[in-house]
Each structure stands twice: as C-alpha cells, then as structure tokens.
Structure 1
Amino acid sequence: MTADGNGTAGDGTAREFRALPGRTEDRREAFSRCLTDVVRLLGLDVPPEPDPTDRRTWERRVRAALRETCRRGVDLSEESFDVLIEAAVHDPDPSFNRQFVEPALSAFGRRRVQAALLGRLRTGTDPERAGAARAWYWSALPVRMPLVRAEDPGAAERAEPDEDADIPAEWREASLREFVGNEHLDVRRCLLPGLPLWKSAHPPELHDLVDAAVRIARSHPDAYIRHRVEHQVGG
C-alpha cells in the first residue's frame, strides 16, 4: 500500500488509502531525537546520533536498519511502544511513517496503537496532532510482521481503554471537532483526508459539525484543503 491511494474504512479496517500532504513546518530535529531513541532501544547497527552536515543520510540508514531488524525478527520491550509511536508521530514523511506503525501494530496490537494516537490527537501539540493523523492513516494496516513480538505477551492488552470503547468512532468524533475548532494548517490538512464528511458516518448530534467542516474546507484559503473536500463530498 502506498500514500497515493485512498484511506481506511470507518470501522478501522484497511480498505483504500488516501493521499496525505507533507508538513508545512520543518520538524526534522524533533524526528532525529526520536530516531536516536529507536536506535538505542532496538539496538540498531547505526550511529546513535546524526552527522549534523548530513542528517538525511543517517535517517535513511536508521530506516533501513529498522526494516532489516523487523524482517529478521525482534522482541520489543514495553518502552519500545512509546518510542515507536513518538517516531511515527514526528516523522515528516507521510509514507515512511508506516515503518514505525507496523512493528508497533505487530507487537502491541491495533487497539493500543490507535488508542495512543487518539490520545495525541486530543492532548498533543498541534504538530503532534497533525502527526497523529498521518500515523492513524496506517493504523488499519493488516498485521504482517509475525516475527516482531512484544517481550511481554500481555503487552497488547496493557494500558488499553475500556474494552467497550469504539476507538475508530472516537477518532472520527475527535478529528471532526479538531478540524472545526483548530485553525492550524497542518492539523486541518492532515485530518481532512481521513475525515468522513457524510452525515451517516456520525451520530445526529454531530451533523451540524459535519456541515461546519464542509463549509470551512470549501472556503479555506489553502488550495489543498479546498481541492480535497470537493474530492470527498463532490461538487
């Protein structure tokens, strides 16, 4: 699956994937700090710090080392969960952030990954909210890293919300409220592709917010947002 397809179904299952925009802010330094933690905790055979004159080459080496480690198989510590989520949220690339989401899904479970991203959307900084939306995009992928496991077999159930909670439904409501109420450009750009803008996707009490989201998007000064909303709701 690539970032030039469509998106996820309302129930959180993988169906089609939608294109996502890049960030408008340079967050590469924060991402490098996340990668340093990934290298340290997973024991990747890469220098733990980037060369200040060639940060991108080091990032590519970390990504390649992580792919190879997951291919060979690895048991992830409890601490690794937060480190992988942090890297996924701060990754500036809307395609490659899946490299951090997928091992977390395999080792710790979809519900826990999506609950962590929902928490970032609700309480994070604006760049973290945008990053959580971009990472959520991949959280419905099928689990396909059988050799990536948690050291603790019960890790997937730990720190979960109530088992009756519907995380995808909570995400839809939170993202709708955030899109309407938060004027940050990256947040709106990253939320919109995964935001259902038909009323049947939301309970009746949120229908006015759906109308507001469509109005905001159609009159927005950003060309991407104006184009995206027409693609989603039609003319």
Structure 2
Amino acid sequence: EDDVTTERNEPTDKGATGTAQTFAPLPDRTGDDTSTFHRALAEVSRIPGLEPVPEPADGDTRTWANAVRRALREAGERGLVLSESSFEALLEAAVQDPNPSFNRWFVEPALNAYGYRRVRAGLLERLRGGTDAQRAGAARAWYWTAVPLEPDGASAEHPGALELDGATDRSVLVREWNEAALREFVTNEDLDVRRCILPGLPLRTSAYPPEVHHLVETATAIARAHPDGYLRHRVEIQVST
C-alpha cells in the first residue's frame, strides 16, 4: 500500500560496543528549540471553543502542551467547530510539536474539519519549501494523516469542507508526498529531516514515477552508509518488508 505506515514497534540494534540500542519508528528531534512550538501553542490556545489554557508563569512548554492538547481533545469530543483561521494554527502546532506521538492531537481535528487534501497539501508545502525544522515536523505529522475521519469529531465553520475533491480520500496526495520526500531525503543532509522522513519513505520503485526510480537506490545507499545508527538500522527494517 502507498498509505503511511502505522507500525509502532521499536527495533533494536547493536552498536560498536555490542550493547543493544532501541530505535523508535518516529524519533525525537536532535535539537531542543521549544520557542517556536511555544508560539504555536499560543495560537492554538486562542482557538474559539477551547477552554482557556493559561500560559504557565514558569514557561514550562511541556506541561502547557499537555494542557492545550487535552483541551483540544475535549473540545473535539464536544463537537468543536473550527474557524477558517484555526487551520494554520493547528497545522503549525502539529509541525512544531517535538513529540512524534502527541502531535496527532493537532492533526486529527484538522483532518476531521478540513479533510485529507487540505491537511496533506499544507504539510507537503512545508516539506518542499519550509525550514529544516518544518520539513522534519511535516514528516512526523504526515505519519498521522492516514487515520480515519471521525464523524463526531471537530468540524469546519463553513459547511461543505469535507465535500471538496479529495477531502475524504485517504490516498490523496500520497504519491506526490512520496516523491517529494524521496527527493528531500537524498538532497537534504540535515539529520532531523532524514530521520523523520525515512520511517514513512517507501523504498520500492512502484511507489514512484519512473524518472525518480534511481533515487530509491540512492536513498537506500545513503541510509546504509550513514554514521547515524538510527538511519542504518531503520533502512534495513524497511527494505526487508
């Protein structure tokens, strides 16, 4: 299938010392820049319909993020109606969230309200033209864009958002994403970008148009020879499945 994987197993590898190492399918960022995510949380916290989530006085982004995610989830369960301006706030929070599991709480309401095509198009735009942090974050967020829509979840303020072409199609833009991600993995040497792209990158030529088939072999070779243990181990998981 061309859809994104939902596997959550954590493969192990042995480093030069022979000690077992665990590698999560979706790694955390190597950097520790929380200021951008903090600003994204501020935008989400102002979405109409959410219970107020005051910014902590001590600047603890982790605790605040949990509170904002919880408020968003609870509002969705109550039938949150999202305005047009809320789309970018949710998407940017999903991209900037350093947690590769909890970012789904920003992705899912956006999918339910605005549909697959719009959410995926926004992530694809960041992959192609964003900063390296946005590219890595877009890849992590893309992981969750295959989840089914929830009929009782958040909805859009303007009726008909899910009636647009591709809004409810779980295969929409997958091939476009795969090609863009393959090109980015091969050409972008940023470690976070490569770590976040690889888990969802198909390493078979059938997922791509003929003109980029040669890049599949290039991507595999890059990962196998990379000094980063995560990439070296992850590529072997993917070529064997």
Q: Which amino acid aligns with 1:234?
A: S
Given candidates 203, 214, 229, the residue that maps to 2:220 is: 214
- With the length of structure 1 as denominator, give the TM-score of the two structures: 0.87
1:86/1:157 Cα in 2 relative to 1: closer, same or farther (>3 Å)?
farther
CA deviation after TM superposition for structure 1 residue 58, in Å: 1.9
Could you say which residue in structure 2 is the equivalent of 1:67?
Answer: 73
Given candidates 124, 133, 146, the residue that maps to 2:152 is: 146
Q: Which amino acid aligns with 1:17?
A: E
Unaligned runs of 5+ in 1: 1-8
Superposed structure 1 runs of 4+ greater than 6 Å apart: 157-161
Moved more, 49-58 or 91-100: 49-58
CA deviation after TM superposition for structure 1 residue 157, in Å: 6.4
1:81/1:156 Cα in 2 relative to 1: closer, same or farther (>3 Å)?
farther
Q: Distance in 1 between matches of 2:180 and 2:43?
A: 29
**1:52-86: CA deviation from partner (whole Å, max 9, x where unpaired):** 35332222211111111111111100001111000
CA deviation after TM superposition for structure 1 residue 201, in Å: 1.8
CA deviation after TM superposition for structure 1 residue 223, in Å: 0.3
- With the length of structure 2 as denominator, give the TM-score of the two structures: 0.85
**1:156-188: CA deviation from partner (whole Å, max 9, x where unpaired):** 467989x9x951111010000000000000000
**1:98-129: CA deviation from partner (whole Å, max 9, x where unpaired):** 00000001000011111111111001000000
Q: Distance in 2 between matches of 1:215 and 1:21?
A: 20
Identity %: 58
Root mean square deviation of aligned Cα: 2.4
Q: How many residues align?
A: 223
1:43/1:27 Cα in 2 relative to 1: closer, same or farther (>3 Å)?
farther
CA deviation after TM superposition for structure 1 residue 208, in Å: 0.9
Moved more, 174-183 or 48-57: 48-57
Contact 1:46 1:61 in 2 (8 A): no
Moved more, 128-137 or 55-64: 55-64
Contact 2:49 2:75 in 1 (8 A): no
Could you say which residue in structure 2 is the equivalent of 1:130?
Answer: 136
Could you say which residue in structure 2 is the equivalent of 1:3?
Answer: none
Q: Which amino acid aligns with 2:106?
A: F
The alignment partner of 1:20 has SS state of: coil
Unaligned runs of 5+ in 2: 9-24
Could you say which residue in structure 1 is the equivalent of 2:178?
Answer: 172
Q: Which amino acid aligns with 1:57?
A: T
Contact 1:63 1:99 in 2 (8 A): yes
**1:116-163: CA deviation from partner (whole Å, max 9, x where unpaired):** 1111100100000000000000001001252411010134467989x9
Given candidates 16, 39, 45, the residue that maps to 2:6 is: 16
CA deviation after TM superposition for structure 1 residue 47, in Å: 3.8
